[in-house]
Structure 1
Amino acid sequence: MARYDKGHKATTHQRVVRLAARRFRESGLSAVGVASLMGEAGLTHGGFYGHFPSKQALIREALVSALSDTRQHLEKVAHAQGGLAALLHAYLSADHRDNPADGCAIAALAAEVSREPGETRAAFAEQTQALIALIESQLPPATQQQAGRPAKAVLATMLGTLLLARTTTDRAEADAMLEIGMQAALQLGQTGVLS
């Protein structure tokens, strides 16, 4: 029997979670099977249960990992490059539009997650709230005092814009959609005006 270095199981576990997060965003939760995922990770189907009690447990971990990565990336961008405008430029970019497998799990999977068990939806909602809190932290103080409403509206605008841009077949129109959504989200964030 092969002996592995200390930490091998944890490293392998994390590798499977990251691969699953990418594959789920790329293909959807139900389209990714455990056997194919484990094969892609270089592991056996039977080895799955040494890491996860169920596919649902893997889905939860993968969603939390993906959403946490998105939030951390946007936080770094906002702090390094200039607040809400930089965050919006990163999120509503052509690169993010064209690469859902590496992007925001909310945009890629929210419709599917809405049909998942309560524990999975709760984990997803918790990470979504963390993203809303990040957006709120980038708003002007007067806008922040509106009890989270503008930050939620900014996120909704970001998500809607990204989804529409992804479904638009004309690249110039998709680029224009991103720009319009960015301007709308920025204005909403700066003014907090909800008509």
Structure 2
Amino acid sequence: MPRVSRAQADLNRETIVDAATRLFRERGLHGISVIDVMAAAGLTHGGFYGHFESKEALAREAGGRAFQQSGERWNAWIAESADKNSARRALIEPYLSAASRDNPGASCPVVAFAGDMCHEAAGSGLRQTFNEGLDRLLQTFGSLMQTGDAAQDRQQALVQFSLMVGALTLARATQGEPLSDEILAAALKFLTAEKAVDKPGPAPA
């Protein structure tokens, strides 16, 4: 059998990571096998270990890519927005949409991976990748808060993003029931209401 060129090997590796990124989001980091990933990539199972030393090594890279994709998508939406408030809405509205609920393979990695992280050792590579990715999303979201105080911006980002993650998780858990749409609608209404946007108060006299 002829050897695969370096360029083809690199392409195959990218195809594997892309397939794993989608599958891990759909089923969780421990919900798929190497055979599943390679089948989705259109490659033979035997070629996996020519690219990755273990399934965990692939999961860490795919998890990092999932967070990178979400971050890039958020930054693109922010760049297209006129101000911080419209940028914040531009993140919240698609996040709490039926499309986001119904397409986990292209949606939030926090919702996809959080359950698995509960069973990961504190110092594991997967936990580190998750924590770093989550913190980057929180930093981006926090930059859109308008309290006038960095610590308060961080608090608002933690509270509001936690609500978003929880709502999307529950909407998926109840998918197909009217309750699922109710959860998304209630969270969206709360987060986009005028009172949910903390703006700097008037300067003291």
Q: Does structure 2 retain, via aligned residues, the 8 Å contact 1:78–1:138?
A: no
Figure out how many residues of one structure are paired with residues of the other and give that number. Answer: 192
Question: Which residue does 1:66 correspond to in 2?
Answer: 66
For each residue in 1:84-124, what CA deviation from the matched residue of structure 2 results, as whole angstroms up to 9, or x when unmatched? Answer: 01110011111001111221111122111222342110111
Contact 1:34 1:55 in 2 (8 A): yes
Question: What is the TM-score when the length of structure 1 is the normalising length?
Answer: 0.87
1:28 equivalenced with 2:28 (yes/no): yes
1:68-94 deviations in whole A, cap 9, x for unaligned? 111211221232143101110011111
- The question of 1:110 aligning with 2:114 is answered yes
Question: How far apart, in 1, do the equivalents of 2:114 and 2:140 lie?
Answer: 19
Measure the CA separation in 2 of the matches of 1:34 and 1:169.
28
Could you tell me which runs of 5 or more consecutive residues in structure 2 were left unpaired when the two chains were aligned: 200-205
1:99 aligns with 2:106: no
Could you say which residue in structure 2 is the equivalent of 1:77? 77
User: % of aligned pairs identical?
Assistant: 32
Shift of 1:189: 5.7
Aligned position for 1:87:
91
CA contact (8 A) 1:22 1:101 kept: yes
Structure 1 residue 155: Cα displacement: 1.1
Q: Determine if the alignment matches structure 1 residue 183 to structure 2 residue 189.
A: yes
Task: Note closer, same or farther for the CA distance 1:36–1:170 as it changes in structure 2 (3 Å cut).
Answer: closer
Distance of 1:6 and 1:38 partners within structure 2: 19
In the alignment, structure 1 segments of 5+ residues that lack a partner are none
Partners of 1:191 and 1:147 lie apart in 2 by: 9
Matches within 5 A, 1:32-47: 32-47=32-47
In structure 1, the residue matched to 2:148 is: 142
> 1:191 is paired with a residue of what secondary structure?
coil
Contact 1:74 1:90 (C-alpha < 8 Å) held by counterparts = no
Q: TM-score, normalised by structure 2?
A: 0.83
**What RMSD in Å do the two structures reach over aligned CA positions?**
2.2
Larger Rg: 2
The runs of at least 4 aligned residues of structure 1 exceeding 6 Å deviation read none
